[in-house]
Amino acid sequence: MSSTDFQSNDVIEYTGRKEKKENTEKYLTFINPETKKEKKVKIGVGLDFFFLGFFAFLFRGFIKEFFLCFFLLFLFDAILLYFNVIPPDSAIAGAIGVLLALRGNFYIARSLSKKGWTLKEPSDQTREYARTKWKNLCGKKRDTPFEVWLCE
């Protein structure tokens, strides 16, 4: 074996490590300034919201948001029943799952920021990646430091 064989293996191994590092930047890390506890929020689509619907809020510890979604779903069903429109349950569950999958992680990050959690030194690459995934969710009103960081 020549020395060039070892060099090419080192390059391949280094490339693999670089890919692993890029995968870790697909998460935003929020820190509670009082307790120093960390929570990671995935940037982009949340599969837990897709499969669990609004029950994913319970598993993530957002009780108020769970009951808010439950009430909105109840209100939506009451309106449909009033107009005698009865869509299949699977259609409603599928629509809620897709909607929450697209917006759920953004909402979690925004609500953590509203509760006082701060972002842990995100890189510019992470910011650009988050902008590509959540570009349509930035409204005109930016209430939280997270929204200012993302949308400005």
- Long-range CB contacts (within 8 A, 24+) of 46-51: 46/100, 46/101, 46/104, 46/105, 46/108, 47/101, 48/104, 49/97, 49/100, 49/101, 49/104, 49/105, 50/97, 50/98, 50/100, 50/101, 51/97
Q: What percent of the chain has pLDDT over 70?
A: 82
Residue 69 clears pLDDT 90, i.e. is over it: no
pLDDT at 83: 85
Top-confidence residue, 87 or 46: 46
What is the per-residue pLDDT across 92-150, written as a single tens digit (0 to 9) for each? 777 888 888 888 999 899 899 999 999 988 888 888 888 888 878 777 777 788 888 88
Share of the chain above pLDDT 90, in %: 21
Domain boundaries, the chain: 35-151
Q: Is the pLDDT of residue 54 over 60?
A: yes
What's this model's pTM, rounded to 2 decimal places?
0.73
Residues 41-65, mean pLDDT to the nearest whole number:
88
